[in-house]
Amino acid sequence: MKLYSTNNTLSEVSFKDAVFNSMPQDKGLYMPYTIPRLDDEFINNIDKYTLPEIAFKVAQNLLGDSIPEADLKALIDEAINFPAPIVKLEDNVYVLELFHGPSLAFKDFGARFMSRVMSYFLEPGEKQLDVLVATSGDTGGAVALGFLGVPNTRVTILYPKGKVSGVQEQQLTTNGQNIRALEVDGTFDDCQALVKQAFVDDELNEKFRLTSANSINIARLVPQTFYYFNAYAQLLRQGIKKVVFSVPSGNFGNIGAGLLAWKMGLPVEKFIAATNANDTVPEFLKTGVYEPKPSVATLSNAMDVGNPSNWVRIADLFKNDTEALKELVVGFKYDDEETVKAINWVFDNYGYVVCPHTAIAWQALTDYKQDHAATDTAGVFLSTAHPCKFPDVFSEEVAAKIDVPEQVKELESKTKLAIAISKDFADFKGYLLGVD
Ligand SMILES: *Cc1c(COP(=O)(O)O)cnc(C)c1O
């Protein structure tokens, strides 16, 4: 696979370079030159394949010879080692559960695949890879658990003290091995500023091979296409051939991957971009004006993004043809009050607990269906995280019904290994230089 920057279509780079650089110098995003269609034979018979088999086919279609077949297969079998089931809530309403990975969020698909791709591309004798990541919660957990024990890599996570949930903090801080957690006396923005400064610091770059693991990395996008195909395979097994996906969106990586899957031939009737009050994209789809805004804090905080970084990829996929984009993608937005109402409705009617992000996708699907009743079309809303990660948003009655997974219960007995630092860059740099 060869890639270009969305800011310069002549700037050809390899998959390996795109993975290690994350972002082109010109601040565009990497996109594949060709997105081949999978053959109809495969799509029509996709119900006969397992998730790892589908993942292999799809990855190979996109990556070409960037990773030899046997290596790619082994890499996928290791990375995609948990299921992504659809659960039927009523006729034509399904939830796609993407929270069965180690950090209980869909970001596990991207993080586990990317970590193994990076490790795979390191040549023998090359410097260990130092991944720096600032997190407001979910990204850090997925990256920590995604890289845990991966050879020749070390991860340093910066998180804002007192601003992540209990489960999230435990996922960040109890790993040991090649994962280090820094508890920063500051905000998420302070954490991000520290990481950014490290990337332009000569002394640190001299000493370490620094890389970021942020959501714009192409190696995070590719594996997120797998579960769209796999959801379709599950629908086919139930005799359903038409599907609408509703995707709770923040940085628009998840729905971007869905659109990439569509481009590769997955038959999807419609994508619903569901957001919280950070409604830059739904507004754009309504007015045609793309106007990034500062983010506002909501209950679905993993979607608090006012300027979605993956949007340029989606625009690029449609070659900036807004009309064509609007044919396929519709937008809905909800405030916190509506989010809580949705959580309660789903609980009261289905006995099913959704996290606040997932609740927004369910509400958007429900509202879409009001105007688009079709008995032969399944609506699938993506559940991006397990509800136990966001205990504060639920009423006592709902919270009592949450099935806390075994791996979360185990976290409670583990020791927190975080190191406290100030938000001064000198403190962070001193830590990085001191402990090597
Ligand atoms: C990251 C995240 C999202 C948003 O996904 P994007 O790819 O940034 O649009 C939604 N829900 C949860 C739980 C997340 O962690």
Contact between 34 and 40 under an 8 Å Cβ cutoff? The reply is: no
Q: Which atom of ligand 1 is nearest to the CA of 249?
A: 9
> Candidates 225, 275, 303: which one to mutate for ligand 1, based on the most atoms within 8 Å of Cβ?
303
Write out pLDDT tens, residues 92-151. Answer: 999 999 999 999 999 999 999 999 999 999 988 888 999 999 988 788 899 999 999 999
pLDDT of residue 375: 84
Ligand 1 geometric centre to CA of 89 (Å): 22
pLDDT of residue 244: 98
Q: What is the pLDDT along the chain (436 residues), one digit of tens a residue?
A: 999 999 998 989 999 999 998 888 888 999 999 999 999 999 999 999 999 999 999 999 999 999 999 999 999 999 999 999 999 999 999 999 999 999 999 999 999 999 999 999 998 888 899 999 998 878 889 999 999 999 999 999 999 999 888 888 999 999 999 999 999 999 888 998 899 899 889 999 999 999 888 778 999 999 999 999 999 999 999 999 999 999 999 999 999 999 999 999 999 999 999 999 999 999 999 999 999 998 898 999 999 989 998 999 999 999 989 999 999 999 999 999 999 999 999 999 999 999 999 999 999 999 999 999 888 999 999 999 999 999 889 999 999 999 999 888 898 899 999 999 999 999 999 999 996 5
Letter for the amino acid at 243? V
Exposure letters 353-390 (e unless 16+ CB within 10 A, then b): bbbbbbbbbbbbbbbbbeeeeeeebbbbbbbbbbbbbb
Write out pLDDT tens, residues 146-157. Answer: 999 999 999 999
Ligand 1 geometric centre to CA of 95 (Å): 16
Any idea which residues carry the catalytic annotation? 107
Q: Would the CB of 254 count as within 6 Å of ligand 1?
A: yes
Q: Is the dihedral of CA 112, 113, 114, 120 positive or negative?
A: positive
Ligand 1 geometric centre to CA of 124 (Å): 35
pLDDT of residue 70: 97
Given the DSSP bridges, would you call strands 242-248 and 270-275 parallel, antiparallel or unpaired?
parallel
Q: pTM for the complete prediction?
A: 0.95
pLDDT of residue 56: 98
Spatial CA neighbour of 95 closest among 300, 370, 354: 354
> Candidates 168, 354, 357: which one to mutate for ligand 1, based on the most atoms within 8 Å of Cβ?
357
Helix residue ranges per DSSP H, 122-252: 138-147, 166-173, 188-199, 202-207, 218-224, 226-237
Burial of 65: CB neighbours in 10 Å, binned 0-12, 13-18, 19+: exposed
pLDDT of residue 395: 93
pLDDT of residue 51: 98
What does the block give as tokens for 49? 């394949």
* 371 alpha-carbon distance from chain centroid: 29
pLDDT of residue 171: 92
Ligand 1 geometric centre to CA of 236 (Å): 27
What is the rounded CA–CA span in Å between residue 188 and residue 161?
9
Domains, the chain, in order of start with CATH, read 83-104+220-404 (3.40.50.1100)
Give Cβ neighbours of residue 89 (< 8 Å, ≥ 6 apart): 95, 346, 350, 352
Spatial CA neighbour of 384 closest among 156, 142, 44: 142
Q: Is the dihedral of CA 397, 400, 403, 409 positive or negative?
A: positive
